[in-house]
Structure 1
Amino acid sequence: MSPAKPLAAPPEPADEVAGKRERRKQARPGELLDAALDLFVEKGFAATRSEEVAARAGVSKGTLFLYFPSKEELFKAVVRENVSGRFTEWYEEFESFQGSTPDMVRYCLQVWWDRLGATRASGITKLVISEARNFPELAAFYQQEVINPGNRLIRRILQRGIDRGEFKPLDLDYAVYSIIAPMVHLIMMKHSLAPCAPQDYALDPQRYLQNVADILLGGICAPAAHRTGKR
């Protein structure tokens, strides 16, 4: 007597199959952006091929181009998803912040590290620095989407401190770079310069940012504000 054949699973209802396909379709852009971010950070923009992004995301190159018609548009979408799309949130936090401006500077540095510097997305900054001259259109896009809004936000923070008498009068056109430069340095240490450092030189991001804040605030705070704003 032959063994009984296993019963076939009943077919899924058509609406459930369609629902799964729709969920998969909606997930694809996010999966493509994740794959692109990884490859752009690992290999750079020029060396990353569209078919590699598609393969890592588990789709065909044709599917990739359905969502992003070129590698340049894919890069722009990666930047918007991971960096520039967050400025609305950061501006809202600026408007609702209740503490002193020295405290806001410390908060700004820490939040930047937690939400961007410590993540994969920090590699975008290194990529742009290394390849901007070869891709001027992408450099212009990054300046419009990331650099200019970031500068405006930091400028508003510093202006808040001046208006409240917490900071000395500052040349804001240049003072913003006093905050931006340490952030860029930390990213470059993470992605490019770390292999050049001595093996016993461990750069602790938390200690680094704390010292940056102490030095910055020691230079720009009015004396009373410095005493009350420092932790």
Structure 2
Amino acid sequence: MNSTETHPPHKRERRKEARPGELLDAALDLFVEKGFAATRSEEVAARAGVCKGTLFLYFPSKEELFKAVVRENMVRHQTEGAEEIARFEGPTAALLQYLMLEWWRRYGATKASGISKLVMSEASNFPDLARFFQEEVVTPGHAMIRSVLQRGIERGEFRPVDMDLTVHSVLAPLLFLVTWKHSMAPCCPSSQQIDPETFIRHHTELLVRGLSV
């Protein structure tokens, strides 16, 4: 046999490579189910099928584990969104609707959207994590929406507006959707359910009418 021939990784090696992702998946499940304060590190380890010591080899504290979950499930999508904005060539109204719909499909419609509700309900008890979330999620997200609005103004498609207030006007209904999803939606009859994508299209239509020159 050729000594330079490569072999597929051993099963234990493959398991080790996959372990950080398995820990993040387990942590996401528990954070969304129980909240940050109520989730214990040993529960995360048990759900991932490892011991607590193994968890701390990858993530030295529950706080660092939470940050990794946020970066994997939120920050990554924002980076993708910023790249798509730079490449987009169509009207700004279409770009705005596309971004809002993709935000829902990639984040809002997934289990990870429970992170937003968790932060809103627990941030005041964990100021360091609130500061982290503000710096790595909220501020870049606002900057991304601001860049879309500025694009529309510079192209003569949107009228000049108060940027801060308009950014909040864009994002507030999206936060409503994820809050609804993780609170009242499971309890409401089908006749009172909200179709998120229909809601987002309606919202962007109203926004664009108000923004258009």
| TM-score class, shorter | over 0.9
Identical counterparts, % of pairs: 61
TM-score of the pair, normalised by structure 1: 0.86
Partner of 2:28: 37
- 1:200 has 2:191 as partner: yes
Aligned with 1:53: secondary structure?
helix
The Cα shift of 1:138 comes to: 0.4
**Are residues 66 and 219 of structure 1, via their aligned partners in 2, closer, same or farther at CA, if it must alter by over 3 Å?**
same
Partner of 1:220: 211
The correspondence for 1:145, drawn from 131, 136, 161, is: 136
Q: Which one is further off, 18-27 or 178-187?
A: 18-27
- 1:52 has 2:52 as partner: no
Partner of 1:186: 177
Distance 2:27 2:38 in 1: 12
**Are residues 22 and 150 of structure 1, via their aligned partners in 2, closer, same or farther at CA, if it must alter by over 3 Å?**
same
Partner of 2:153: 162
Structural mapping, 1:89-168, within 5 Å: 89-168=80-159
Cα displacement string for residues 78-114 of structure 1 (whole angstroms, at most 9, x for unaligned residues): 0001111232221110000011000001101110011
- The answer (yes or no) to whether the contact 2:81–2:99 under 8 Å persists in 1 is no
Unaligned runs of 5+ in 1: 1-14, 223-231
The correspondence for 2:59, drawn from 64, 68, 71, is: 68
Aligned with 1:192: secondary structure?
coil
The correspondence for 2:16, drawn from 25, 44, 51, is: 25
After superposition, the CA RMSD in angstroms is 1.6
Unaligned runs of 5+ in 2: 1-5
Partner of 2:75: 84
Q: Report the number of matched residues.
A: 208
The Cα shift of 1:199 comes to: 5.5
TM-score of the pair, normalised by structure 2: 0.93
Runs of at least 4 residues off by over 6 Å: 15-18
- The answer (yes or no) to whether the contact 2:77–2:106 under 8 Å persists in 1 is no
Distance 2:140 2:9 in 1: 41
Distance 2:26 2:104 in 1: 22
**Are residues 20 and 102 of structure 1, via their aligned partners in 2, closer, same or farther at CA, if it must alter by over 3 Å?**
same
Partner of 1:229: none
Cα displacement string for residues 98-131 of structure 1 (whole angstroms, at most 9, x for unaligned residues): 1100000110111001100001111100000000
- 1:177 has 2:164 as partner: no
The Cα shift of 1:22 comes to: 1.7
Partner of 1:228: none
Distance 1:216 1:175 in 2: 9
Aligned with 1:200: secondary structure?
helix
